[in-house]
Amino acid sequence: MLNRIITWSLEHRLLVIVLSLVLVVLGVQALLRMPIDAFPDTTPVQVQINTVAPALSPLEIEQQITFPVEQAISGLPGLDEVRSISKFGLPDGGAP
For 42-89, how does the pLDDT look when each residue is reduced to its tens digit (9 = 90+)?
Answer: 887 788 887 778 788 778 888 888 888 888 888 888 888 888 776 666
Q: Is pLDDT larger for residue 89 or for residue 35?
A: 35
User: Are 27 and 53 part of one and the same domain?
Assistant: no
Residues 52 and 60: beta-carbon distance below 8 Å: no
38 in a structural domain? no
pLDDT band at 96 (very low <50, low <70, confident <90, very high): very low
Looking at 1-96, list the stretches that DSSP marks H as alpha helix, in order from N- to C-terminal side. Answer: 2-11, 13-33, 58-61, 67-73
User: Are 23 and 54 part of one and the same domain?
Assistant: no
84 in a structural domain? yes
For 8-27, how does the pLDDT look when each residue is reduced to its tens digit (9 = 90+)?
Answer: 999 999 999 999 999 999 99
Model confidence, pTM: 0.45
Tell me: pLDDT of 41 over 70: yes
